C-alpha cells in the first residue's frame, strides 16, 4: 500500500524574472514501512521534493497524496492536522536554544494542546527511545551534534507520526555519529512501523539503511527501485556517478592501459567462491584488478571489483560469459568511471 504517492510533480520558482524549474515531472511511490532514500547532488531538487510531501512547498503542477488524500484539496486546518502525522528532521537540528531537552520534545505536544504532565511523560518515553533519558535537563548548547539530532528525532516523533522526513539529517555529522543516527532510524522504522524518507547526497547513507531509492538529477527522476538492484546495475549517468564516480573516493590512477573494463558485484551466492582464480584457470588469461571494495547494503556486506580485461574482443566476451555463469552481476564501465580521484 502506498503511503506517499507523487504524480507528475512540477515546481518552478521565479528568480529575477527568470523561471527556475526545480522539479520536472517527478512521479514516485513510497510504500508503508519503507526506508526510502531520495539522492542527488547539490541543486538536483531533492530538498524541494521532500518539502512538497508535507506541502511546505506547494507544487506548481502535479499531485501529492498521503494515505490516499490529495493534499491540494485540504483546507488549512485539515492540512495542519495532516502535517501532525508527518514528522520532519533537518540538517541544522532547529532546536529551541532557550528550552531544555525535555522542553524541546514537549513543544509540539504543547502546541497540540496536551496537558503538561501528559506531554512530559510522552517526551520522557521518547528520550529513552533515542538514548538521551539522562539529558532531559540539559540545553542544546551543552549537547554534541549527534545528541542534538537525537533530540530532534524525539521531537519529530512526539505527535506519533506515520511518516518521518529526514532532510540531509546526517550531513553535518562525523561518520561514526552518522552510523549511530542511521542505526537509530532503522530501529524506529522496525519498532514503530514508521515510514521514513531520507534526503541525502551520500550514497553510503542510502546503502546502509534504505531499502528503496530514487535518484534525482536536474529536477528529474532518472532512476528508482530497490537499493540492491540499483547498486548492482546502475543505468543512469547520475546513478553511476554516485556509485562509481566522484562521491566515492578511490586511490588515484594515473593511467590505465586497457580498452575494456568491467564491474562485478559479489553477493551471497558468489562471495565465498575463488571466482578470479577459477576464471584465470579456465581461460588462461590474466585480468587486472583496478579497484576492489566492500559496501554495507542494507545490513549485508556486498563486494565489488573493477577488472581490466584483455583487448581481444573474443577473450573479453569469454570472460564476461564465464563470470555471468557463476552468478555475478557484470556491467561494462568506461575509464572515467573507475579513475575518479
Give the CATH number of the domain where residue 305 resides: 3.30.70.260
- Residues 296, 176 share a domain: no
**Quick check: 148 and 139 in contact, CB under 8 A?**
no
Structural domain total, the chain: 2
Domain region containing 139 = 2-234
| Domain membership flag for residue 316 | yes
Closest by CA position to 309, among listed 269, 276, 278, 274: 276
- State residue 74's pLDDT score: 93
**Quick check: 160 and 105 in contact, CB under 8 A?**
no
| Domain membership flag for residue 251 | no
| pTM summary value | 0.81
- Residues 275, 152 share a domain: no
Q: How far apart are CA 124 and CA 176, in angstroms?
A: 26
pLDDT band at 19 (very low <50, low <70, confident <90, very high): confident
What are the tens digits of pLDDT across the range 211-233? 999 999 989 999 999 998 898 88
- Residues 196, 77 share a domain: yes
**Angle between helix 101-111 and 145-156 (nearest 10):** 20
pLDDT band at 243 (very low <50, low <70, confident <90, very high): confident
What are the tens digits of pLDDT across the range 161-176? 999 999 988 887 888 8
What are the tens digits of pLDDT across the range 99-131? 999 999 999 999 888 899 999 999 999 999 999
What value does the mean pLDDT take over residues 61-78? 93
- Residues 79, 226 share a domain: yes
Give the CATH number of the domain where residue 160 resides: 3.40.50.300
- State residue 128's pLDDT score: 93
Choose the final residue of a domain: 234, 251, 278.
234
Q: How far apart are CA 263 and CA 334, in angstroms?
A: 10
Amino acid at each position: 500500500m502506498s503511503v506517499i504517492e507523487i504524480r507528475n510533480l512540477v515546481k518552478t520558482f521565479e528568480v529575477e524574472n527568470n523561471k527556475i524549474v526545480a522539479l520536472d515531472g517527478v512521479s514516485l511511490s513510497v510504500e508503508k514501512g519503507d526506508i526510502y532514500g531520495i539522492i542527488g547532488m547539490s541543486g538536483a531538487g531533492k530538498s524541494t521534493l521532500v518539502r512538497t510531501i508535507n506541502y511546505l512547498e506547494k507544487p506548481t503542477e502535479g499531485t501529492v497524496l498521503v494515505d490516499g488524500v490529495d493534499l491540494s484539496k485540504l483546507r488549512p486546518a485539515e492540512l495542519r492536522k495532516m502535517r501532525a502525522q508527518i514528522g520532519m528532521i533537518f540538517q541544522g537540528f532547529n532546536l529551541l536554544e532557550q528550552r531544555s531537552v525535555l522542553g524541546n520534545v514537549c513543544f509540539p505536544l504543547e502546541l497540540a494542546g496536551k496537558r503538561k504532565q501528559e506531554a512530559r511523560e510522552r517526551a520522557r518515553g521518547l528520550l529513552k527511545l533515542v538514548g538521551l533519558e539522562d539529558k532531559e535537563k540539559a540545553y542544546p548548547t551543552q549537547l554534541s551534534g549527534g545528541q542534538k539530532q537525537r533530540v530532534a528525532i524525539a521531537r519529530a516523533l512526539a505527535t506519533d507520526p506515520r511518516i518521518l522526513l529526514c532532510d540531509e539529517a546526517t550531513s553535518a555529522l562525523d561518520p561514526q555519529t552518522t552510523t549511530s543516527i542511521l542505526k537509530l532510524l532503522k530501529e524506529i522504522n522496525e519498532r514503530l512501523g514508521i515510514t521514513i524518507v531520507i534526503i541525502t547526497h551520500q550514497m553510503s547513507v542510502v546503502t546502509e539503511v534504505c531499502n528503496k531509492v530514487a535518484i534525482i538529477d536536474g529536477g528529474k527522476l532518472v532512476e528508482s527501485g530497490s537499493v540492491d538492484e540499483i547498486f548492482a546495475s546502475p543505468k543512469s549517468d547520475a546513478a553511476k556517478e554516485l556509485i562509481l564516480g566522484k562521491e566515492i573516493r578511490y586511490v588515484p590512477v594515473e593511467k590505465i592501459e586497457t580498452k575494456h573494463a568491467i564491474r562485478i558485484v559479489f553477493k551471497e551466492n558468489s562471495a565465498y567462491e575463488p571466482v578470479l582464480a577459477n576464471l584465470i584457470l579456465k581461460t588462461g588469461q590474466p585480468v587486472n584488478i583496478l579497484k576492489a571494495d566492500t559496501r554495507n547494503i542494507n545490513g549485508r556486506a556486498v563486494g565489488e571489483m573493477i577488472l581490466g580485461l584483455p583487448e581481444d574482443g573474443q577473450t573479453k566476451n569469454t570472460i564476461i560469459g564465464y563470470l555471468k555463469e557463476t552468478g555475478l552481476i557484470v556491467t561494462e564501465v568506461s575509464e572515467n568511471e573507475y579513475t575518479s580521484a
